[in-house]
Amino acid sequence: MPRTIIVGSGPAAAGAALALAEDPTQDILVVDIGTRLEADAAGVVDELGTSQPENWSTDQIEMISRQPVATSRRALPEKRVYGSDFPFRDEGQLRGLSSAAGANRSVVSSAYGGFSNVWGSQLMPYSEATFRDWPFSLTDLAPHYRKILDHVPLTGAVDDLAEIFPLFREPRPLPSLAPRTRQVIGDYDRYRAKLRRHGVIVGKARLAVQSEQCVRCGLCMTGCPYRLIYSSTQTFDELIDKGRVKYLPGLLVSRVEESETGVRVFARETATLRMQEFDADRVLLAAGALGSTRIAVNSMGWFGESIELAESIQFAVPMISRRRTPDPRAVTEMTLNQFNMVIALDDINRDLAQIHFYPYNPAMDEALPGFLTHGPASMLGDEAMRHLTVGLGYLPSWESPKLVVRASPAAGDGDLPEVHLSGTRDNFRRNGMLRQVVRRLVKAAPFLDLWPVVPMISCSAPGKSYHWGGSFPHSRSAQRGRYASDPLGRVGGWQRLHLVDASVLPSVAATTFTFTIMANAHRIGSELRGL
């Protein structure tokens, strides 16, 4: 049986594994660091997941609902899941990695399931025009988007967003939405023609959530006790149970070597620090854009060179509404993204910004100045919650700063290379896309009763969007350069080694990209079955 090793267990690894597992002759081994939620917290989650919210104790809820933790002034707080930081914990994958002042250092996850443990669960594909500079089209990728939806739940609605972002299948309905969401959707329907003239489209969120089982306990952002939010661990658990995948955790891959007959993987045991070697017919690197880049650079010996990554920069925009809603803290709601706003700045739907809008969650209270949460002024804080909506927006990578990776040889044999991560904002200071987006928001405000608090709009630090990739972008063979990969994710003359995660995306659109990562990895895996 041909043996394929997949490095990593995040969404890209899941997409590739699903494709390979369709062939019963494939022997699939997943090598992973595999950090998991602590046993005591997992026990509490299991207990809560088999009972109703009215039976949950305060101590249990507090244990698994720790709010995000501030990491730097120029970044959104770092999420926690079930009260734990395990998706961000350093088990060796961050050793030797440094970052410029303000840049995000938590760029590689050690967790089983990677950052899908803490993602926002948005399932939006890329627009057709986004593929203009790719070596394949949306039509080529569409069957793989559909295949992913055979395994990932799609919750949302058929609305104007489908004109640009195909649904690929009928979505399940969202849980009941917050009053502000219902107001905005109603206003958009009422003033649709005027808003569309400004390039503004509003639609309901599309989420990878089993919505029909949602009890609206309000813990979505800190970890659903019923595990209704998709994580790639669900895919791997199923494949492992069926015997289609073998899974080896506790291994940190540092480099790979290709020969005429196969590939050798070098990994260090995280517990004992002993080196292990594994042989395969093919290897798929799916350790995340930065993780795979680091392994590839180490394997190629490409040290002392600057490699650019594309990032879709993230910005936060608080919105105030004149109309008040009931106090959102008095009821529990689904706290994931509830509706999206897309702002089109061209006629082909390529230069798009997207903003995800969130209802109330306790992190908003914590973000208020202290004097508004205690004492006589707390009444003002209470009133603010009735008027506040938070938008989390993204610009496309071609209108965003670049991330720059520079590597030097590893400190010790079997280690990952030393890597410095920095960001350049020169391009971002020159372009005016964010200013254009803000102007459109201001024009839309009277119709949607969502008024952007312009002085409080902030951009996250380099790497903090977690929407980056393209260190080895897919390219047509005639255009390939030193760092470009072919459509199967092979770079630098590789024939049996394939990058299958965000590291090979030619660009990063403002639309959330996990769905596209999974579909592209599935495409590569499907094509490899025939080789």
**Per-residue model confidence (pLDDT) at position 372:** 52
**Per-residue model confidence (pLDDT) at position 377:** 58
CATH of range 1-36+85-152+230-305+466-531; options 3.50.50.60, 3.40.50.720, 3.30.830.10, 3.30.70.1400: 3.50.50.60
Tell me the C-alpha to C-alpha distance, in Å, between residue 496 and each of 2, 89, 262, 451.
Answer: 12, 31, 7, 53
Closest CA to 209 of 175, 255, 236, 168: 175
> Cα torsion at 154, 155, 157, 158 (round to 10°)?
10
Tell me the C-alpha to C-alpha distance, in Å, between residue 57 and each of 205, 334, 375, 405.
Answer: 31, 20, 28, 47
**Per-residue model confidence (pLDDT) at position 420:** 93
**Per-residue model confidence (pLDDT) at position 428:** 61
Using one digit for the tens of pLDDT, what is the confidence trace for 469-505? 999 999 986 556 789 999 999 998 899 999 999 999 9
pTM over cut 0.85: yes
- Segments of the chain with pLDDT less than 50: 371
* Alpha carbons 331 and 51: distance in angstroms, whole number: 19
- The domains of the chain are located at 1-36+85-152+230-305+466-531
Strand, helix or coil at 511?
coil
The neighbour count for residue 291, using CB atoms within 10 Å, is 27
* Alpha carbons 499 and 198: distance in angstroms, whole number: 40
Q: Are residues 155 and 209 in contact, defined by beta-carbon separation less than 8 angstroms?
A: yes
Three-state secondary structure readout of 139-158: HHHHHHHHHHCCCCCCECCC
Using one digit for the tens of pLDDT, what is the confidence trace for 353-390? 999 998 776 666 555 555 455 566 566 767 777 888 88
**Per-residue model confidence (pLDDT) at position 35:** 97
The two tokens of residue 143 are 């069957």
Closest CA to 8 of 188, 263, 253, 218: 253
